[in-house]
Structure 1
Amino acid sequence: MDAPSATGGSATVRQDAAAVAWWVLVGAASGAIAGALVGGIGGRLAMLLLRLTSPDAVTGMISDDGFEIGVVSFDTAQLVLAMAMLGGINGVLYAALRTAIPRKLRLPLWSVFAAALGGANIVHDDGVDFALLEPAALAIALFVLLPGAAAAVVVLFVERWMLVEPWSDRRLSIGLCIGAIAGTFALAFAALLAAAALVLRRGRLAGPAARVARVAVPPALAIVTALAGWRLVDETVRIL
């Protein structure tokens, strides 16, 4: 967990709170931006592509997510906001776990983890999306790629902005606040993690928590990725 990094004994509650608030803000904003751009707008572009490659009969049908295929409406804004919220949760979780993952593995592990988990939850052999949209292989590939790409953007943003001295760049801080607000309900999740992280820092549990996380987090992510990947492959075989 990023927040429980060791701090000096002289650190004040205010300093700890500022440090925790920064990584939470970076995570929430990075995730919300990535979710809105890749998941929301990218998702609509993917559906547009699939509409063009699918029979005309699918136009106007309601997708499994409740959106009208081939029609751009206010529902698109709802999709973007929904993806910003999910992305915000993803971003905060990554920001909390990043230091437990070896630096060289952060981008590939987090991207594959999100692609497998996201794909396993999106791709299924019942409903409209993967039964009527053609080609099915393209539909599957797109909706596995999108969550993986969004997670990759999260990693790139978080790693970049965590190099900035917390709260030193006023414009960046304001921009991150605006981005985090777009995550809406993701902020509740962020607040819970921030509170837990602050308790660990103030309770002098930073060192032990960080050591446990470094041992437990990478294999846990690998296991979840493997299980999700197995489910994804099973659904893909059923569809194809």
Structure 2
Amino acid sequence: MKNLIFIALLIYSSSSFSQQDFGIKVNGGVSQITAKINSSGDIVTQKFYFLPSFQAGFLYHLHLGKKSLLGTEILFMQIEGKEHMQTQDIDSYGNPTGFITTTDISRHISYLSIPIYYGYKIKKFSINFGFQVGIPIKSSARYKTEYVYNGDKIISDDNYNSLPIDNYDFGTKSGLMYNLSKKFTIETTYYYGLNNIYKSNQIFSANILPIFTMKIQQFTFGIIYKFYSREKKTSS
């Protein structure tokens, strides 16, 4: 995080530019949280689904002439994900019993995120690409499980106030902006987390599960309002 701030300040102090923009943004879209089991063979099948999500926060744009800009943001990101998992039950000898355990999982993670990106301007458009670091603020999950025990069908519904996730998320972020006016811009963004955010062997259900590889992604569309812009000329 300190390195990101240092890079941003270094670019700010050493570049020649003509305009700075300060604004706010609100985006809605969809997100996905994948929690793939690393070694399950044919015993477990998993399906992951996108759910509605959003992001909102403040942005700063530093225009480097007519063709380039540098941007950074401070965002609140709400990441949602759903998983449907089926586990083939086995006996104490490792043989299939013919029964299936079904688990539906809803996961929720709130992040404070800081993206830094470069934008290439083409008329009213800007094509952006960069990276983003996120710090989790809150997480939770709901597990709804159906299984057979001693011939009886058991249904459980469990809620958890936190997920065993890492204290940061890092990934790539790309986007496309279109300037409607000097004040308003519409944009679409895509974020893909690169690191495995799962950090422990904690198990959330009665079933014994191997270690996960957990990652997030988010696609959004929204609007930017630039509440303050100023012209400035600086040379290093």
Instruction: Tell me if TM exceeds 0.5.
Output: no
Greater fraction of residues in strand = 2
- TM-score computed with the length of structure 2 as normaliser: 0.28
With a CA cutoff of 8 Å and minimum separation of 6, indicate the structure with the bigger relative contact order: 1
Please say which structure displays the higher CA radius of gyration.
Answer: 2
Greater fraction of residues in helix = 1
- TM-score computed with the length of structure 1 as normaliser: 0.28
